[in-house]
Amino acid sequence: MSTQKTILRALAGETLPTPPIWMMRQAGRYLPEYKATRAQAGDFLSLCYNPELAAEVTLQPIRRYGFDAAILFADILLLPQALGADLWFVTGEGPRLSTITSAEELDVLKPVTAIHDTLSPIYETVKILSRELPDETTLIGFAGAPWTVATYMVAGKGTPDQGPAHALKDANKDVFEALLDRITEGTIDYLSEQIKAGAEVVKLFDSWAGSLQGSDFLNYSVKPMAQIVAALKAKHPTTPIIAFPRGAGEKYVGLHAAIGADCIALDDGVTVHWAAEKVQVNGCVQGNLKSSHMVTGGDDLVSETRRIVDALSNGPHIFNLGHGITPDADPENVQLMIDTVRGN
């Protein structure tokens, strides 16, 4: 029997009797211990840039639940900040950034070589975690995919339809593409440093991929992710990569090969039997359980969890939610999900 960690086995294409499990946003406001450490740090960004405390909140859900993977505690918007954008969080509303909508504003950004000045505490967090995590737990690093990061850099905040980024793409393609290139290059260096510091897997979050249609989906979601994967595979050939093109719908088909990813993360908008037949057939998949079950719990949570485990039992599968757990979730429902997956 292989002694390799279960997540790495699933990512290598192995079908396991029980899928390994972790959860998007597993360190977060639904946990009282997270809220306490965040209060100690002062605010969210201070927590991200404090290696000891960021490692502590990363470890909290591992201690409480024994997940098979820990995901580095950080944020996809730290890279824009490292590139020179102003970044702050408004309580109850979310992130705010200085905007980039012209060649002049793009020119103000720092060169990619400067990002490590800001991001070095994140690499320190990774180093602490690779020392402190239990032997069986896999450490996942991450970054935003270029399109999703660009939507925040152009609009200066989260937007329901990513309108400002679409407008820049359509009105000033050169500036838009130069911005995507800068983020792509920065992401390669950022993830490469995370891997050097000890991340065993990395994940790309393209949370807003669903608003790109047709050739735009290929050019601005798939292509930059494929560039990042190719560059990382050249430098770190044994590090598996998970890609999460949220909202891709029917365009999920063929993405393992198109992106070069070892695993494709599914949102909750696809039917699990369809995903088994059309997506898992090409490699490992992860995700699909609606995050709202972590709020509502009960029999529905148990039956939906079992349905996903069964439907994906004939191929490589990592159990996860279709998106991040929300602050109103009940920590006991997380335990119920884990017990159901593990058959306890």
Give the Cα separation of 50 and 54 in Å (integer).
6
Give the Cα separation of 237 and 217 in Å (integer).
26
Which DSSP string do the residues of 18-48 spell out, in sequence order? S--B--TT-SSTTSHHHHHHHHHHSSHHHHH
Give the Cα separation of 313 and 15 in Å (integer).
7
Catalytic-labelled residue, pool 9, 30, 34, 38: 38
Is residue 25 flagged as an active site residue?
yes
Q: How far is the CB of 1 from ligand CP3 (least distance, A)?
A: 30
Q: Which of 315, 324 has the CB closer to ligand CP3?
A: 324
Tokens of 223: 């292509």
Residue 148, helix vs strand vs coil: helix
Tokens of 174: 């050169």
Pick the closest to residue 169 from 120, 115, 208 (CA basis): 208
Q: How far is the CB of 170 from ligand CP3 (least distance, A)?
A: 22
Q: How far is the CB of 335 from ligand CP3 (least distance, A)?
A: 17
| Residue numbers at the binding site for ligand CP3 (CB under 6 A) | 24-29, 38, 44, 71, 73, 75-77, 94-95, 142, 158, 205, 207, 324
Catalytic-labelled residue, pool 75, 206, 267, 268: 75
Is residue 29 flagged as an active site residue?
yes
Catalytic-labelled residue, pool 49, 152, 190, 220: 152
Is residue 38 flagged as an active site residue?
yes
Q: Which of 207, 305 has the CB closer to ligand CP3?
A: 207
Catalytic-labelled residue, pool 29, 64, 96, 307: 29
Exposed (0-12), middle (13-18) or buried (19+): which is 84, by Cβ within 10 Å? middle
Q: Which of 255, 265 has the CB closer to ligand CP3?
A: 265
Is residue 152 flagged as an active site residue?
yes
Place of tokens 């407008």: 167
Q: Which of 72, 255 has the CB closer to ligand CP3?
A: 72
User: Which residues are known to be catalytic?
Assistant: 25, 29, 38, 75, 152
